Every structure is written in structure tokens, then in C-alpha cells.
């Protein structure tokens, strides 16, 4: 393959071009799907964050697509992000183990169940009221028909 270019360009030029192609490939980092891609969102524009190998972390997806006009060139390293998530999990684990927190959650749940039951009772009352109205309407309608039949028979 290398010999095929000998007539057109020199060995030196061929090697130089090959080196340029190789360097270009090395500098261009592609979008790569990673653990937190589109799971973490940019605080400035709300776009999903994308992993970039050259940053060893995540950058704003809007910035990755459209550059400075869309967002800023901020990033979070994967290591830092993993640490933040681990800290959150740790915090949640400690909260769950905390007896006061658990009793607060149970009290809130009990209150919510009570409120839901109250709302259900109101809906049941409304349904019963509508059923009574419907029955009365049917009775009145039946009576009206009877009266009209009676009137036509009298004529």
C-alpha cells in the first residue's frame, strides 16, 4: 500500500500525512456511553451529562453538541461523581437506621392514610347522593308518564 503512493508523494510526505491522521484520531474524543451518561443533568441548562474520555468525566450534553452558545465548558470527574453518590447512599443508609427518622416517616404515612380515607368517604357520600337523585328522577319520570297516559285515556 505504501509503495502505491511513491509515484505521487514522497515517503517523507506519506509518513507525515499518516502521522497527522493518527494525531487527529487521538485528539478527537467521541461521545461514549458511560455509567452516568444522561443520568446526571447539567445544573445550568438541564441537559444530560455525557462522558468524555479526555476529561475523565462528564460534560454538559448541550455544550458537547453546540459548544459555547449552548452552555459552559464545565465538567465533573467520574471519580468525584462516584464519591458524591457514595456519600449520598451512606447518608441515606444512616437516615434509615435512625429511629427518630423512621418514626417520623411512619407518622407521616399514618396521617396520609387517614387523609386518603377521609377523601374516600367524601367520594362515597357523593356517589350515594347521586344514586338517590337518580332514583328520584326515575320515580318522577315514571309518575309523569302515568299522568300523561291517564290524560290521553280521559280524552
Binding interface with Zn ion (CB under 5 A): 42, 44-45, 47, 60, 62, 71
Give least dist CB 64 to Zn ion, A: 9
Q: Which is nearer to Zn ion, 68 or 97 (CB)?
A: 68
Give least dist CB 58 to Zn ion, A: 11
Q: Which is nearer to Zn ion, 45 or 130 (CB)?
A: 45
| Cα–Cα–Cα angle for 95, 79, 77, rounded to 5 degrees | 115
Nearest-angstrom CA–CA distance, 19 and 123: 77
Give least dist CB 39 to Zn ion, A: 15
Give least dist CB 27 to Zn ion, A: 23
- Is residue 14 packed enough to be buried (19+ CB in 10 Å), middle (13-18) or exposed (0-12)? middle
Q: Which is nearer to Zn ion, 66 or 95 (CB)?
A: 66
Q: Which is nearer to Zn ion, 67 or 142 (CB)?
A: 67
Amino acid at each position: 500500500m505504501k509503495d502505491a503512493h511513491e509515484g505521487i508523494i514522497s515517503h517523507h510526505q506519506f509518513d507525515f500525512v499518516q502521522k497527522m491522521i493518527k494525531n487527529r484520531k487521538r485528539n478527537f474524543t467521541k461521545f461514549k456511553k458511560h455509567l452516568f451518561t444522561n443520568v446526571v443533568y447539567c445544573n445550568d441548562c438541564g441537559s444530560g451529562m455525557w462522558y468524555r474520555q479526555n476529561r475523565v468525566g462528564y460534560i454538559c450534553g448541550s455544550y458537547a453538541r453546540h459548544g459555547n452558545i449552548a452552555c459552559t465548558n464545565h465538567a465533573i470527574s467520574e471519580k468525584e461523581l462516584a464519591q458524591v453518590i457514595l456519600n449520598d447512599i451512606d447518608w441515606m443508609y444512616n437516615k434509615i437506621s435512625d429511629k427518630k427518622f423512621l418514626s417520623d416517616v411512619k407518622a407521616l404515612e399514618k396521617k396520609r392514610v387517614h387523609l386518603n380515607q377521609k377523601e374516600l368517604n367524601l367520594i362515597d357520600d357523593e356517589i350515594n347522593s347521586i344514586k338517590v337523585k337518580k332514583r328520584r328522577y326515575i320515580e318522577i319520570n315514571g309518575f309523569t308518564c302515568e299522568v300523561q297516559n291517564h290524560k290521553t285515556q280521559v280524552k
